[in-house]
């Protein structure tokens, strides 16, 4: 039987070619530190029950946001019915720009710092960035829809919009770096450095586009004198939408994290199989 570990990635049909993964002793000769870490992480994930609770709560708050946002709340003043996007767009932006980006940055630092170094942080950083990229794309899409109705354009070269677009590219670049091969710890270092450079870049881009705008384009479209008075049911719904996005984010990050663990275990099993086969071949030759 020939093994093509790389070719099987992401292709459900070719999984069937390796029917005996489940019966393989998933350990290489000479247990490395990374192996031990993976084992204990897998063990820990077996006992994880809070993810389901968070998921159910996230689903409930999302439903509540939908009902309140679409049917219960009055049209927001000045913005009218379009103002209902107030319960989607800011919460997604919070999830992508602060929650996810912050978590990725902190987790990357925790990997680079020798005293807290653990592959756990690398997986958290990656999972968080992936969910963050999704939320950021949704922030841009919902913002664009909102912009179309309020300013009449899908896109404008406003400072904040430009920063968000650059950030999305940074996220995508980070995810592309994550997909490059190597040993888990070499990958983790590379990923963390990329995340760190992105984190340094964000304030720089922020200030430069801010200046670019304020210096050359008197009025920014995102600071119209709307004087929104957010209160009562509107404030409550906004608050719930933030809670919903946070819970969903936690749930998705945890799920993605578990996927990463299983993928790593699968790759280890493949390597184990191929080593055993080579050993058997060499014995047959003898």
Among 54, 100, 198, 273, binds another protein (CB under 8 A): 198
3-state SS assignment for residue 263: helix
Using CB under 8 A as the binding rule, the residues of this chain from 88 to 107 that contact another protein are 88-89, 92
Contacts of 105 (CB under 8 A, 6+ apart): 195, 196, 198, 199
Which of residues 62 and 118 has its CB atom nearest to another protein in the complex? 62
Query: 128 with 97: CB under 8 angstroms?
Result: no
Using CB under 8 A as the binding rule, the residues of this chain from 119 to 178 that contact another protein are 131, 134, 137-138, 141-142, 145-146, 148-149, 166, 169-170, 172-173, 176-177
Burial class (CB in 10 A: 0-12, 13-18, 19+), 189: middle
Using CB under 8 A as the binding rule, the residues of this chain from 218 to 247 that contact another protein are none
Instruction: Give the closest residue to 36 by CA, choosing from 185, 178, 179.
Output: 185
Contacts of 265 (CB under 8 A, 6+ apart): 26, 38, 42
The yes or no reply on residue 1 touching another protein (CB under 8 A) is: no
Q: Where are the beta strands (DSSP E) in 57-152?
A: none
Among 93, 99, 209, 234, binds another protein (CB under 8 A): 209
Residue 283 C-beta: closest distance to another protein, Å: 26
3-state SS assignment for residue 11: coil
Among 46, 231, 282, 286, binds another protein (CB under 8 A): 46
The yes or no reply on residue 67 touching another protein (CB under 8 A) is: no
The yes or no reply on residue 51 touching another protein (CB under 8 A) is: no
Q: How many residues bind another protein (CB under 8 A)?
A: 75
The yes or no reply on residue 271 touching another protein (CB under 8 A) is: no
Instruction: State both tokens at 148.
Output: 């179309």
Residue 225 C-beta: closest distance to another protein, Å: 23
């Amino acid at each position: 039987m020939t093994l093509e570990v790389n070719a099987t990635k992401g292709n459900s049909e070719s999984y069937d070619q390796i029917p005996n993964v489940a019966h393989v002793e998933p350990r290489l000769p000479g247990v490395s530190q990374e192996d031990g870490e993976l084992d204990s992480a897998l063990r820990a994930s077996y006992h994880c029950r809070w993810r389901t609770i968070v998921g159910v709560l996230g689903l409930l708050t999302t439903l509540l946001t939908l009902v309140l946002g679409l049917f219960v709340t009055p049209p927001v003043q000045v913005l009218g019915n379009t103002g209902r996007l107030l319960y989607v767009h800011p919460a997604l932006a919070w999830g992508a720009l602060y929650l996810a980006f912050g978590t990725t940055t902190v987790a990357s630092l925790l990997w680079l710092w020798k005293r807290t170094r653990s592959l756990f942080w690398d997986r958290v950083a990656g999972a968080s960035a992936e969910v963050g990229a999704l939320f950021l794309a949704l922030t841009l899409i919902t913002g664009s829809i909102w912009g179309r109705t309020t300013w009449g354009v899908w896109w404008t070269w406003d400072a904040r919009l430009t920063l968000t677009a650059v950030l999305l590219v940074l996220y995508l670049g980070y995810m592309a770096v994550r997909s490059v091969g190597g040993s888990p710890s070499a990958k983790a270092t590379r990923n963390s450095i990329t995340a760190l450079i992105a984190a340094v870049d964000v304030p720089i881009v922020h200030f430069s586009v801010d200046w670019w705008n304020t210096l050359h384009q008197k009025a920014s479209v995102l600071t119209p004198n709307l004087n929104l008075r957010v209160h009562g049911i509107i404030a409550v719904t906004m608050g719930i939408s933030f809670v919903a996005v946070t819970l969903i984010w936690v749930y998705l990050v945890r799920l993605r994290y578990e996927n990463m663990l299983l993928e790593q275990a699968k790759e280890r099993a493949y390597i184990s199989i191929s080593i055993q086969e080579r050993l058997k071949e060499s014995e047959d030759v003898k």
